[in-house]
Homo-oligomer: A and B are copies of this chain.
Amino acid sequence: MNERQPARRPGGRSARVGAEVHQAVTDLISERGYGNFTVGEVAARAGVADSSIYRRWGNLETLLTDVALTRLNAQSPMPDTGSLVGDLRTYAANVAREITGPDGLAVVRLAVALSSNGQAGLRAGDELRAERMRQLQSMLDRARDRGEHAPDALDVLDHILAPMYIRVLFGMVPLSPDYIDGLVDRLV
């Protein structure tokens, strides 16, 4: 409980603390759901001081967003298959697998929780979406650079991601490969 190291030192103790704090957040989310634990409880679970968390992340919302982005980037990386349809189908299939898996709606629930959690929550939610939209945009930009006619990132959100999210949120699962490819083909 005495974590007094500089927060930004790469590797070593700082990296280990980061991993322990991320794991504590993931555990608390699955046990209690978003919004039902404090920085103090994360710190106790991870075996670090509250001040370590505040120094490194500033507040709970930023920490939750960091955990969500790390998870997203590990589990749903942006594909680069050489064609727009290939990229979008692969991306949509990855997202579908992620959100229909165990605790798969973690990121969506986080976005929802952040959006109803004051200014810090709104800012953290904005950052989370902006970062994923930037990644999506660079995939679409690559398609444009190849001379393909690519939709906007917001169109992908509206007509590929939103239908899948809502069907999973409403328990209308599974999402079949034909359904997912159909969303992509309809948009492209």
Write the residues of chain A forming the contact surface with B, with a CB cutoff of 8 angstroms: 108-109, 111-112, 114-115, 122, 125-126, 129, 157-159, 161-163, 165-167, 169-172, 183
Contact = CB atoms under 8 A, between A and B. Distances in A.
A126 to B, nearest CB: 7
Given A109-B112, A158-B167, A162-B166, 9 more contacts: A111-B169, A112-B169, A114-B171, A122-B171, A129-B172, A158-B162, A159-B159, A161-B166, A162-B167
Contacts of A161: 166
Contacts of A171: 114-115, 122, 125-126
Interface of A is mostly: helix
A108 B172 CA distance: 14
Nearest to A126: B171
A165 B166 contact: yes
Contacts of A183: 158
Contact of A162 (B108, B112, B115, B163): B163
Top 7 nearest A-B pairs (CB, nearest first) are A158-B163, A115-B171, A162-B166, A162-B162, A162-B163, A112-B169, A111-B170
Nearest to A129: B170
A115 B158 contact: no
11 contacts: A112-B170, A115-B169, A122-B171, A125-B170, A126-B171, A157-B163, A158-B163, A158-B166, A161-B166, A162-B165, A166-B166
